[in-house]
Amino acid sequence: MYYPFSWFKSIVRLCLFLIVFALVGWYLDDMLLAVALGATGLLLLNYWHLYKLNRWLWHSRKMSPPSVNGLWEHIYEGIYYLQRRNRNKRKELGALVKRFREGSEALPDAAVVVDAKACIIWCNRLARLELGLRWPSDAGRRLDNLIRHPEFIQYFHAGKYHYPIEVPSPLNPQKTFEDRIMPYGEEHLLLIARDVTRVSQLEEMRKDFVANVSHELRTPLTVINGYLEILAGSGDELDPLTQKAFLEMSSQTQRMQSLIEDLLVLSRIEASSERIYENTVDMPAMLRQIKLEADALNKDKGHTIAFHLDEGVKIYGIETELRSACSNLIFNAINYTPPGGHIDVYWSVTKDGVKFAVKDDGDGIEQRHLSRLTERFYRVDKARSRKTGGSGLGLSIVKHVLNHHNSQLQITSVVGEGSVFFFNFDAEMIASQDPVL
């Protein structure tokens, strides 16, 4: 509530007060002394009010102010009003914080908030249970002193939070957590840790299953294929239908064999823990070898294939994997470009690193397929892919190889004009580069 205050009235009242003292002084023949006494009285009265105000502010339990008049009433009411307003605000904020905490306690994930200095501001119940944080004793302690997994520490300090990482739980190494950090506000960070143990176990099981099945199928298929080749070879003794059946069976088992080989390559790359920075690959030399295979594959198609290689640019990586990725892209260009096309293969230094690209002037691929091309067994035109003998795993292999080498497959394509499949490596992936002559 606002109490109107009039300075004019207040000054008039002060003047009247002093005039009364002046008149009394005039009557008693000492006007100055009387006015001085009046002013001193007024001063003492104000000191008394200050004393009362101080008592009320610091020592009284009463919310409502003492009843006084004049200017002091106005001051008391003002302070009382501000106090009431602050109290209501505090209540509202308290209720908001309570609701937020209750909400985050109900989260199915562990959540921790840290400030710009990596000190814990707050954590929820699951963070205490799953990450071993203690509350409130860990408040203000650095998060990287409490979660000590090296991968987490590296992720925490790298500052690149656009992807999550998977790390074992600090309390139970059997459990896997997906840690994701989200920056917000004034350099605050929110860590969300989600239990993905079951997902990663299923993923492991899937990888093992595919690898084992492919491995187990390999031997019986080799035996069947061997016998079929012998039987199909003894052509003269067989009637044409049986011979045709043997030839067809032989070609289908070969297709199955190449499918299984691709599945095994994919499983090997997925499970690979080889370090990419321990070996160097002479890419131009490797691409020249692939060129020989490409020329052999190109016999029927008659494409014009040109390799544009920046000589002497070696990179860190795993040769078998990179060979598989590059040859898949080159062979795809040969297989999916109509006869007589033009294919260009580039290995060139760029301003940020080095780039590999395969460009063809084939039929191109519609935009809607591009994002799905690297899925296993995804084909644009199933019938045509089968005819070319493709397993549908080629681009999946490329994706995994590049993932392992910290890169990504990129595709641009225009229907009727052709496609470009390319990837870049950062400058730090370049192991050596011949000086430009």
Please report, as ranges, the residues that interact with ligand ADP according to CB under 6 A: 328, 332-333, 336, 360, 362, 365, 373, 379-381, 385, 390-396, 419
Tokens coding 206: 């899937």
Tokens coding 33: 């002394």
The residue among 242 and 371 lying less far from ligand ADP, judged by its C-beta, is 371
Q: What angle do CA 70, 75, 80 make, to 5 degrees?
A: 125
The least distance separating ligand ADP from the CB of residue 420, rounded to whole angstroms, comes to 9
Rounded to whole angstroms, how far apart are CA atoms 369 and 385?
14
Q: Decide if 337 contacts 303 (C-beta within 8 A).
A: yes
Side-chain half-sphere CA neighbours of 160 within 13 A: 4
Tokens coding 225: 């294929």
Which residues contact residue 44 at a Cβ distance below 8 angstroms, ignoring those fewer than 6 apart? Answer: none
Q: What count of other Cβ atoms lies within 10 Å of the Cβ of residue 335?
A: 18
The residue among 265 and 365 lying less far from ligand ADP, judged by its C-beta, is 365
The residue among 53 and 264 lying less far from ligand ADP, judged by its C-beta, is 264
Query: Which residues sit opposite 414 in a β-bridge?
Result: 418
The least distance separating ligand ADP from the CB of residue 336, rounded to whole angstroms, comes to 4
The least distance separating ligand ADP from the CB of residue 258, rounded to whole angstroms, comes to 9
Distance of CA 280 to the CA centre of its chain: 29
The residue among 43 and 414 lying less far from ligand ADP, judged by its C-beta, is 414
The residue among 333 and 354 lying less far from ligand ADP, judged by its C-beta, is 333
The residue among 208 and 375 lying less far from ligand ADP, judged by its C-beta, is 375
At how many degrees (to 10) do helices 7-28 and 70-105 cross?
150
The residue among 169 and 419 lying less far from ligand ADP, judged by its C-beta, is 419
Which residues contact residue 45 at a Cβ distance below 8 angstroms, ignoring those fewer than 6 apart? Answer: none
Question: What DSSP character marks residue 142?
Answer: B
Rounded to whole angstroms, how far apart are CA atoms 437 and 434?
9
Question: What DSSP character marks residue 235?
Answer: G
Query: Which residues sit opposite 165 in a β-bridge?
Result: 179
The residue among 111 and 398 lying less far from ligand ADP, judged by its C-beta, is 398
The residue among 194 and 399 lying less far from ligand ADP, judged by its C-beta, is 399
Q: Where are the beta strands (DSSP E) in 141-213?
A: 165-168, 176-184, 188-195
The residue among 318 and 398 lying less far from ligand ADP, judged by its C-beta, is 398
The residue among 142 and 355 lying less far from ligand ADP, judged by its C-beta, is 355
Question: What DSSP character marks residue 393?
Answer: -
Rounded to whole angstroms, how far apart are CA atoms 153 and 147?
8
The least distance separating ligand ADP from the CB of residue 245, rounded to whole angstroms, comes to 26
The least distance separating ligand ADP from the CB of residue 300, rounded to whole angstroms, comes to 16
Angstrom distances, CA of residue 25 to CA of 18, 21, 142, 436: 10, 6, 75, 109
The least distance separating ligand ADP from the CB of residue 296, rounded to whole angstroms, comes to 18
Rounded to whole angstroms, how far apart are CA atoms 176 and 322?
30
Strand order across the 110-114 sheet = 120-123, 110-114, 188-195, 176-184, 165-168
Q: Decide if 110 contacts 94 (C-beta within 8 A).
A: no
